[in-house]
Each structure stands twice: as structure tokens, then as C-alpha cells.
Chain A
């Protein structure tokens, strides 16, 4: 995958005089020149608002925006393109999912203990508003999810991450959706860490709703996707109100636009959609199977090199993990680890990674996290290992 590095201009940067070693792709990925150019080209040659302007630029912008939707639909193998709703990011997608279901949910909302705050808070707040029970599927000491079976009883929704942003665990979504169907439970999947890193086929996996962001998969920030099955979207209520999402409006009443526009409001991130399509084209050129294979290779290597110098969180086997490794180093605070690594040009994430309850359950306050993508090379892992040795030296002197 080394050959792709030349497409990422930022990788040529020096940080504190050292080669940039970017190990924070789970927070946001870097962007290839093809995506950067696509966005610039939109603004240079066919910038216009969409769905309302009759002129040439408006037609071209509308066409590009809708082509982006088609590209996303085919990327996740959605049955209909109107099942793809453009939103700002995964967090917004999950809020629309939760509050769009407000007239459908009943009984119990089921989550897991490994959810990111973005897939916890919308459901937590919805449960408060609708006086519903909130229940959680736990995970074991190696970071594997418990069997959901008995907890599914009476759950109208199961909100679950496909790949944990802290443990790295890849959850068996297909097995879970099959079980959920027996109980009539709607399965909402947080795909923020999975869609960028592995083939995700919503039909094959039996996913009812899926949320993800463009910026973690080579695309720009400010645009993401809520996918939901058509029959579900038809039953759901809009969450944001205003222009674009309406059919007819009087002073006291309104009716909703057809799908997907019922859930898209105001002027969207058109340049973002154009950049998103370029990112998807790029990933399809590389092939998602190859992206996953590379993640697994780098993770295997990193697990082997890191296991003797840090305490690794989550599954021991790379095949069960996405391309990220969270870890701790005894008494040394993750912030201090990140600061010293930065002096060496190495970018990692430190903190609770928007999963405070998960860290509390693990009995730690924060962790450090190195995450990989298709441009990550073994030398990046080697630099991390050397950097961590320096961290030890500083704190043990």
C-alpha cells in the first residue's frame, strides 16, 4: 500500500523537524490529492445551489450531488439510493436515527457498553423523553461482546457499534441482526470505524440503519450518512425542519418531501458530497478488501511490537480488531505520552476518546490510541515503538 502515500500531500510534512508519523486516522483520515482537487474543482467550475436553480451551474451541481448519493448507495450496497441521507457527521446521523424513531420506539432501548458517546447519548436522552428502559450488553475482559440473546427480548431498538473506537473489537453484526429479527428489534449500527476500513454490505449484514462520516474515509469533514431501509424511513418522523424537507407549507401545517429529502434540510454541504464521491472512487480503486487486509497486517505487526512495552486494550487477535490499538503505560498519563511523541513527529490520540463510561468500566481514566489506514507503513509503527521508549526514559529518569 506504500504506493498510495504519494497521493497524500500532508505526509510530506515535517513536525518538529521530524517526518510526520500520522497515527490518528480513527479521529480523522488524511486526504488524497484526488479528493482535494475534486473539492477545489467544484468551487472553481460549477459551484451553485442544488435542487432549485434552473441554470447550467445549478443543473451540474445537482447532478454531482446526486451522483455522490448513488456512489454511497453502491458503496454500502443499499437497495435504493433514496435510502442514503446526507447529514453532517455520524453524530448527527445517530441523533436523526434516534429522534426520527420517536413515534416507533417502545419498551426497551438496548445498547452495548462499548458505544461512543455519539451512539449513547441520543438513545439515553430519547429514553428519558419517552420514559423507556435503557439496557446494555456487556463485554468480557478481552473486549468481546457478550451474547445479546436474552437482552433482545422487549427491545424495540438495538444500537451497536460495528467496530469499537477504543477496544478495536469488530462485532459480529450479521449474527446479531439475525437474532434481532427474531425479536422484531430494529438494529442501528454505528459504522464510523467500520465503513472506512472494511467492506460493509447493508443487505448482506441485515442492517436496518447505518451511520458513518466521510472524513474518516479520505473525504472532507462536515458530511456524513444516515442509511436506513426505505420502509423504516417512511415510518420515521423528520428531526430538523425548514427548507428542502417540505412538500407543502401553510402557516399552521406542513407535509414532508419525499425520501431522502424529508430528512435533509437547508442547503447541504455540496462541495463535501463532491469530495465524498472522490473519496469513495479512490477507496473502490484500492478495493475495500485490500484496505482491510492492510489494516490486519499493520495491526498484527503493531500488536507484536507493542505488547512488551505497553498494556494493550481489547482483543489479542488482529483478525478480530479494526486498525487501531488503544493502550496504557503504567502511571504515565496518555496526555504526557502524546506530548512526548509529538516532539518526535508522531501524532496519536490521548484521552477518553468520547467513551467515558467504557474507560470507567476498564478502570482507567484515559488511554493513548494509535490508529492506522491504507497509507500507514511498518516504519510508522517502528517510529511509535522508538517514541514510546523515549517516553519511558523521560519518566524514569
Chain B
């Protein structure tokens, strides 16, 4: 059967972790993939240079939704620096599957939004 749709990916797609709003989030960031119209909104709370809480909302394919679910689980408590250093290899490893170039874009949308959120937080911090 399908290599991409592994047990773990389907599990995260069916029961996504950290799905929903954070009412008192420090940063809310919305992003989309213009190719397919997938949308994601990330809610993030920081504790100095660490991510304290993170959640997501949005619509998308199984790959982007599983990636968001796994990623939000993974980054909780991690430092900003560590997350900024994450790249596409890391995301593919986390998902445990090999993706084609177009499908990789789906998988990377959550990380891209997460990084945008971090930069927005850092910007706000700098501005005092």
C-alpha cells in the first residue's frame, strides 16, 4: 500500500495534537500555501527564549496536518535558536517518510509559519 501514509502520519491526521486556539498567545501567525490553498494559523506563547506553548488551526492535506501536529509536539519547551536551525531534512525525518518536491511544500508549511512566528516575537521584543 502507500509508503507516505504511514500509521504515524494517519494517526496524527486523525487525532491531531495541539489543535485549537491559545487565547492569550504572544503571537498569532497565519500562513498559506498558494499552490494548494492550504491554510494554517499558529498560536505561540513564549517564556523568554523558549517556546512555552504552541497550537495550530487550519485546513490542509494529511501531510501538512500531521506535520503541524508532530512539529508542535516536538518544539514545546525547545529554545528559539534550536527551532530556527530546523530544516527540511529534520521535518522529513520527523515524519519518517520521503516526500516529492511538491509534497515537501505541504510538510514544510507548519515549520515556515512557526519560524515566521518566532521572528515576529523577536521583532516585538526588540521594539520593547
How many residues from A make CB contacts under 8 Å with B? Answer: 20
How many chain B residues sit at the interface, stated as a range, is 10 to 19
Bound complex: CA of A390 vs CA of B38, how far in Å?
Answer: 23
Are B63 and A352 in contact, CB atoms less than 8 angstroms apart? Answer: no
Residue of A nearest to B39 (CB): A365
Query: A351 is contacted by which of B2, B10, B36 (Cβ under 8 Å)?
Result: B36
Q: How far is the CB of A16 from chain B (nearest CB, A)?
A: 10
Residue of A nearest to B5 (CB): A394
Are A339 and B103 in contact, CB atoms less than 8 angstroms apart? Answer: yes
Bound complex: CA of A395 vs CA of B106, how far in Å?
Answer: 18
Q: A333-B60, A395-B10, A397-B10 are in contact. Are A339 and B4 (CB under 8 A)?
A: yes
Interface of B is mostly: loop
Q: A351-B36, A352-B37 are in contact. Are A393 and B1 (CB under 8 A)?
A: yes
Say yes or no for B101: interface residue by CB 8 A criterion.
Answer: no
Residue pairs across A and B with CB atoms within 8 Å: the count is 49
Q: Chain B 42-71, CB within 8 Å of chain A: the 1/0 string?
A: 000000000000000001111100000000
Say yes or no for B127: interface residue by CB 8 A criterion.
Answer: no
User: Quick one: which of A362-389 are within 8 Å of B by CB?
Assistant: 365-366
Are A359 and B37 in contact, CB atoms less than 8 angstroms apart? Answer: yes
Bound complex: CA of A395 vs CA of B39, how far in Å?
Answer: 21
Are B37 and A340 in contact, CB atoms less than 8 angstroms apart? Answer: no
Are B38 and A365 in contact, CB atoms less than 8 angstroms apart? Answer: yes
Q: A365-B59, A395-B10, A397-B10 are in contact. Are A336 and B5 (CB under 8 A)?
A: yes
Residue of B nearest to A391 (CB): B2
Are B36 and A352 in contact, CB atoms less than 8 angstroms apart? Answer: yes
Q: How far is the CB of B60 from chain A (nearest CB, A)?
A: 6
Residue numbers of B with Cβ under 8 A of A are: 1-5, 10, 35-39, 59-63, 103, 106
Given contacts A335-B106, A359-B37, A366-B36, 13 further A-B contacts (CB under 8 A): A332-B62, A334-B36, A335-B36, A335-B61, A335-B63, A336-B5, A339-B2, A343-B2, A352-B36, A365-B37, A365-B38, A365-B39, A390-B2
